[in-house]
Amino acid sequence: MKQDFQEICKKLNISPSITRKQIYNYLDGHRTHPTVDEIYHDLVVDLHTLSKTTVYNVLKLFIQHNLVNVINTTENEKRYEINDMKHSHFLCKICNKLYDIPQVTLSYDKNKLSGFSIEGEQVTLIGICPDCMKQKNIN
Amino acid sequence: MKQDFQEICKKLNISPSITRKQIYNYLDGHRTHPTVDEIYHDLVVDLHTLSKTTVYNVLKLFIQHNLVNVINTTENEKRYEINDMKHSHFLCKICNKLYDIPQVTLSYDKNKLSGFSIEGEQVTLIGICPDCMKQKNIN
DNA sequence: GTCCTTGCAAAGCGTTTGCACAGAA
DNA sequence: TTCTGTGCAAACGCTTTGCAAGGAC
């Protein structure tokens, strides 16, 4: 059930400014794990005075409130995604594209992890995506 | 069965220089996913003329030959580990320490991933480590 | 008035690149 | 000689910080 951004802000006790709403909607509409740069370049068209600093600020705020997740890719850049559905990731080692895939189920021996309090998980399968497999078969 | 660095180099057809051997041994003896900085500072004591560039160069070489893995943490730094045993990771969200844990078993619906060629996986459990749990209980 | 949001400019820092020197083959 | 390993210095690029201006309340 999708929540309105206004309601989300109300719950978290943060003000729903236009900039924040735009960034939230962008992440909601672009499930492609965009970088700060991508978010900035796409939004500055409408929000002419937008700065990257603000994008960083807003994302930081969202992360603090668990609205957004950071993903660390193999490159030196962070990618962002809305934190509204549990899922796993698939990283293509050819084109470096990061796909959302249905959540992978984990099983492990809890006895070997006694003392550890497990609260979350990050799973990334790595391989070659369908598009790159096609390219490979052509060449 | 541990292999000698000389043998490994012979197999990979790279020359076993002292610098390379030292960096390899360091990673072998420090299973703490060190950063380039940590490797550099610990090794420069003996290898007085060592530079970070060389550490980067050697690690790059090792990664190309699958001797070493890179781990992208939540901070803006890469961490390195020897690629000699399959295992999963546990990241403590309090102290940010990254632990090696026994490999977690994954299960997923292959039908939903048709077209994807899966060759590897990265699993990180996230939570609070035993040390930080103790601290928490004290305070 | 105070508090919060925004954003310019600069700094910070891990990493990469260019290039040159020295030793090995 | 050529090739390889090493390392200084500079550049690079993403991110963070300092601080100030404008708006909300």
Task: Specify the length of chain A in residues.
Answer: 139
User: Is the minimum CB–CB distance between A57 and chain B shorter than 8 Å?
Assistant: no
Residues above pLDDT 90, as percent of chain A: 64
**Which 8-state DSSP code applies to residue A86?**
-
> Which structure tokens are listed for B18?
């002292």
For residue B125, give the nearest of A11, A113, A65, A16 by alpha carbon.
A113
Statement: the CB of B14 is under 7 Å from strand D? yes
Residues of chain B with CATH 3.30.1490.190: 85-139
Taking only the tens place, the pLDDT of each residue in A29-54 is: 999 999 999 999 999 999 999 999 99
Window B15-74, strand C contacts by Cβ < 7 Å: 15, 35-37, 52-53, 56-57, 60
- Calpha distance B33→B42 (Å, rounded): 14
User: Is the minimum CB–CB distance between B116 and chain A shorter than 8 Å?
Assistant: yes
Q: How far is B46 from chain A (nearest CA, A)?
A: 30
Provide the pLDDT for residue A2: 56
Residues of chain A with CATH 1.10.10.10: 1-83
Q: Which residues of A touch B88 (CB under 8 A)?
A: 108
Taking only the tens place, the pLDDT of each residue in B2-53 is: 568 999 999 888 999 999 999 999 999 999 999 999 999 999 999 999 999 9
Cβ neighbors of B46 (< 8 A, separation 6 or more) are B22
Taking only the tens place, the pLDDT of each residue in B50-97 is: 999 999 999 999 999 999 999 887 777 899 999 988 899 998 888 878
- Calpha distance A98→A89 (Å, rounded): 7
Q: Inform me whether the pLDDT recorded for A125 exceeds 50.
A: yes
What CATH number was assigned to the domain covering residues A85-139? Answer: 3.30.1490.190
Q: Is B102's CB within 8 Å of A108's CB?
A: yes
Å from the B67 CA to the C16 C1': 21
As its CATH architecture, domain A1-83 has: Orthogonal Bundle (1.10)
pLDDT tier at B1 (50, 70, 90 boundaries)?
Answer: very low
pTM: 0.86
